[in-house]
Structure 1
Amino acid sequence: MQHIIDRFISYVTIDTESDPNSNTTPSTKKQWDLANKLVEELKAIGMNDVTIDDNAYIMATLPSNVDHDVPTIGFISHFDTSPDFTGANVKPQIIRDYNGKDIVLNPEKDIVLSPDYFEDLLQYKGQTLITTDGTTLLGADDKAGITEIVTAMEYLINHPEIKHGIIKVGFTPDEEIGRGAHKFDVKKFGADWAYTMDGSQIGELEYENFNAAGATITVKGKIVHPGYAKGKMINSMYYASEFINALPNLEKPEHTEGYEGFFHLYSIEGKVEETVLKYIIRDHDKDKFEARKALMEKVTLDLNTKFESEVFDLDIKDQYYNMKEKVEPVMHIVDIAEEAMKALGIKPLIKPIRGGTDGSQLSYMGLPCPNIFAGGHNFHGRYEYVPVESIQKAVEVICKIAELTALKQ
């Protein structure tokens, strides 16, 4: 277990935060620091054909050790961390034999990780947790996934008695800003199917995700001296509030769960002259997804009509789609993962992803790609943590999937 802890900490202490405002790939130069380390590590454990391209996409191969034909499978994780919260100077804390009580992350700032608020903590009483110090995110999303894949490959290399076919490994940049699969070379990867190790709690197995779009609403105003503004000033910030209030109040992330979709306002930048609203639109159901986009268009039209001017400009761009459509025709790949978990005494939690992974885009690029738990909780913030035992179990699931795939033939 200490080997896993050391590997994971060596990854999370390297800052790899991505930047949605950058046009490069990777979006930040610092992602190369971990990417180059991973290349050397894959070579050191004995992987074949280890490559990294000009955009920092990493691929490697574990050759088959059986003499019959076996489908080529892959395992994929991303090495960037979310720009939602700082990933610089991560100082992991190791909580051994967790007692089920409050964990003081930072006594000076009175930051506490409490099971009273985060009830999932109680599942891991008696286990070893890795947390933040309360000032950064941890990076278990998705450096836990990378840890699991590298450790599983190392284990299979050191235990040739476990039979498997060809296994491909892929690590990507910029997943957290929706670009992780954009420049992924599916043909070069060469797998029949793959699994992203990018889920949360132990047991998660997901092949449904949101349909996703991003929307930018630009609201135009007119600035004049406030002392002489009557009948002349148009305050774009006030007008923007009309747009916000025109959308269903209960269809926000904080009021939804399961298959329920939402509109999420994640950014406002405003002055009298211009205000820009940025939303993400999410729904598992394709028809409801289209209806959400249509509603935004109707609100824009209605408000422009109300104010008798083109005050509101709406730009919507689709981001990714529900992988269910591409995975259901090859459901045996989900069945194998489910069987692997059950064989290891893990209860599969098959449920929709309330988000997206590289796998959602890769599935539409010809690489069906369900998602498996990586073990972490409370991603993208100061309360993020991961049980080491969950990382270990994910390693075992990878190895078991490889073994079962070879046995199925």
Structure 2
Amino acid sequence: MALLLVAGCGPARSADHEATLRSEVTRIAQEFAADHDLTKARTALEGLEVANPRQFLMLQTEELIAANTDPALTASLVKLTDALGIQSMVIRTYAAQQGLVEPTPTFVLEPVAAAPTLPPTATPTTAASPTADASIATSASITAPVAAVSLDLPTPTAQSDAPVAPQGKATGLINVRSGPGTEFAAVATLNPDESVALVGKTPAGDWWQISLANGATGWVFGQLLTTSGDVATVAVAADIPTPPPTVAPVAVAEQPTALPTETPSAAPAPVTEGPDFRLVEKRLWDVFENGGSKNGPTVTCGEKRELHVYVRDANGNPLNGVAVQALLGAREILVTGAQGKGDGKVEFVLGGGQDITVVRDADGREVTADTVYGLTTDPRAIPFEYLIAGQYCADNAACDAWVNDPRQPPPCLGHYSWTVTFQRKY
């Protein structure tokens, strides 16, 4: 009886919540198709009670494309994802096949009509006559008026010799820092394809000083910008800030009882083996953390299906500006600290599940990292030790009976959440 209660309460509640979210997304897409008000649609989407509304919209659109049951609604969702710049190969391919997005313009060079050829001026044949008469005839032929031909030629556009001002375009969602280095605090972010003026650089040319829209300046790692214009004219900045002092050496110096031979061990020793970012935590959220509840052994499922990823440095401090990539579905890349969810953190919405890894450090350098597999929302694929730790079941036997009961669907299917933490070795 307890197992039947588990199946009856939790999933129904979760299904109702998800149905409400899907209905809201449908409404937003249909209203956008009618009024083309992107600002209103974006505001409504961001107001949904879900960790990553854009990813939720993308997943719902991909699922509707796969179902192929409602072409009109699918078209509304596809047009909204395209307007919001959400990248998905599945959606893009469908949109192109159905003619739902503007095709890439093509230009055909038409042949230019040849200029009219002037008829030759007839020169009268001079018969044998006195020399004076021949001269008069020749003069008459030269000065005879010729009909003028007017050609409507385009007025040439004046080409400016002035150099194009140096600019940079963000290659993704990137941090703007108070100085040229990851040790400086992030003071702003640039959106993908956002353009900024380049006003300075470091002596090595690896960091650009940029001018923000509010008139302030900041620094961006050079590899994260696509440059244009006459960048050779950008001078080395005269106001390059000094890097902030390193805290660890000061703390070691102030230890009055520290022995000289123990000073090197006061700071964490650099790790020379293994990937740049290693997995230090993979945890399934418990029943209560995921929004559910328990009454004895009976579980009422929560409504969440989230993936929270934290990235730390070697000392355990949050790291902003690190690119974390989902490896399934649209393979979305999110940057820690850029979502406003907290320092060193990104949040994904889980569909059926996800695999995750780190692809770039805060300075834009590609890195090696552990890949975390099995972040699933299907309880049949979750090891029992995780379910036991999450208080979904008491032991292996109870978990087996709970998950594999042939009389009910898998309990809480689609509504599990995970936390993953990566730590950089340097």
Which of the pair has the greater relative contact order for Cα pairs under 8 Å at 6+ separation?
1
Tell me if both proteins adopt one fold, taking TM over 0.5 as the criterion. Answer: no
The structure whose Rg is larger is 2
TM class by shorter chain equals under 0.3
TM-score, normalization by structure 2: 0.21
